[in-house]
Amino acid sequence: MHTVVVGATGVTASDVLAVARAGARIELSEEAVAALAAARGIVDALAAKPDPVYGVSTGFGALATRHISPGLRAQLQRNIVRSHAAGMGPRVEREVVRALMFLRLKTVCSGHTGVRPEVAQTMADVLNAGITPVVHEYGSLGCSGDLAPLSHCALTLMGEGDAEGPDGTVRPAGELLAEHGITPVELREKEGLALLNGTDGMLGMLVMALADLDTLYKSADITAALTLEALLGTDRVLAPELHAIRPHPGQAASAANMAAVLKGSGLTGHHQDDAPRVQDAYSVRCAPQVAGAGRDTMAHAGLVAERELAAAVDNPVVLPDGRVESNGNFHGAPVAYVLDFLAVAVADLGSIAERRTDRLLDKNRSHGLPPFLADDAGVDSGLMIAQYTQAALVGELKRLAVPASADSIPSSAMQEDHVSMGWSAARKLRTAVDNLTRVIAVELYAATRAIQLREGLTPAPASQAVIDAVRAAGVEGPGPDRFLAPDLAAADAFVRAGHLVAAAETVTGPLR
């Protein structure tokens, strides 16, 4: 099994994906253990002094003015975890919780939090045992960290609350820890606060969304190319010299992908022969511009994620010179903005894909294809309602594009009077990515059927490879009406698993 070694200088996106999705094991580097011990020494020294230090010998948030005596500090740390584990609603996905815990461990190992090495090791042990704390949908405002979600994780470290075992059964966390030989932690000064105060949930969901969107944007380039081919459109608009004079890198990449898929097609450009059209519609002709802008948005979001993966997000933080200083680095705005930006791009990519599908189904705009790609129009309805479903998904994508980060609800008696709503932005982006997959699947279903209805014309080799692969995956081709939902589900699974990209790449080589 792959092992991820956590040091003191951050982790990579591939590390997050390996732990969250592939169950990679975690080890702490000697550098991280040394950084943990050094920072803890600073916290212990401050705890022994009579002067109050926020998070070490005081209350939290709006209650920070109270000095806490040494005899009550362990209770204070337990209490903050218990009281902040106040989430509600459905459980979030296992991969999200694993990413959340792993990224908190990343910050703990930076040596800026003051957490003892044994607490960090327990976090790694819980992840390695396949124990997943029960974390709920609601509870984070994305400002002073993802407080409620992280608190539910910290509760598991204490042997309290519920968690899911490696067999998928939810049980008391204490029982699961005992079965795996893990001793619950007894939190000391600052440790409870340090386990809760980070943007780890929203960052983990950003990293996973970017990985999913990398596949989906390639998939959308492929389906756009298939639709262009099915509509007998021209691939001359994909020429690299046209995109070089508007030098957006994402646009050039999308155009290159479409051109690679269409290479050798016997369908493209036929409308120039009898000149019924001068230009293709925007949804076809401008596909690289729209998908390319989304790709550039992803590049910006990836840069933000990279910076956050190298960051130590906590309050207060332990500095190398021995100071323990309060700060605002826990605010989720940098991550929340790009999560919302991606949701806008996802909605637009879904929207243009739906317009292409509708064009394939409209006999007045499909240039010779049967109405709704039906076998016997009138007797058969063809893909009419598949487009309804796609349109409903796009409508939902547009609603999900409304930014969460433009909202703020003050909390903690107005101490936390401006919050990022980054967790909410991340949750709705996950839904948007899920729905975009379905939207692309419907275009794939329609475009492959339409190409096969162009009798006497030979599709591009890459297109044929896609058609062969999707038919082998159980997605039926042209014919009389049948129960459509299973076909759409199979197309969805085909796109979701990356098989669409893989099929095209057997001919094109790696797409960009």
User: Which residues, other chains included, contact 364 with Cβ-Cβ below 8 Å and sequence gap of 6+?
Assistant: none
User: Which residues, other chains included, contact 350 with Cβ-Cβ below 8 Å and sequence gap of 6+?
Assistant: 393, 394, 397, 435, 436, 439, 440
Output the 3-class SS for 445-463: HHHHHHHHHCCCCCCCHHH
Given 54, 337, 388, 445, the catalytic residue: 54
Neighbour count for residue 135 (Cβ, 10 Å): 29
Cα–Cα nearest to 325, from 30, 54, 96: 54
Residue 470 has phi, psi (to 5 degrees) of -70, -35
Cα–Cα nearest to 393, from 356, 427, 440, 429: 440
How does strand 3-6 pair with strand 25-28?
Answer: parallel
How far is it, in rounded angstroms, from Cα 390 to Cα 358?
10
How far is it, in rounded angstroms, from Cα 318 to Cα 316?
7
How does strand 170-172 pair with strand 317-318?
Answer: unpaired
Structure tokens given for 33? 């253990």
Q: Which amino acid is at 305?
A: A
**CB burial readout 5-24, b (16+ within 10 A) else e:** ebebbbbebebbbbbbeebb
3-state SS, residue 411: strand
Give residue 411's region: left, alpha or beta (phi > 0; psi -120 to 50): beta
Residue 282 known to be catalytic: no
Whether the CA torsion 331, 334, 337, 342 is positive or negative: it is negative
Q: Which residues are catalytic?
A: 54
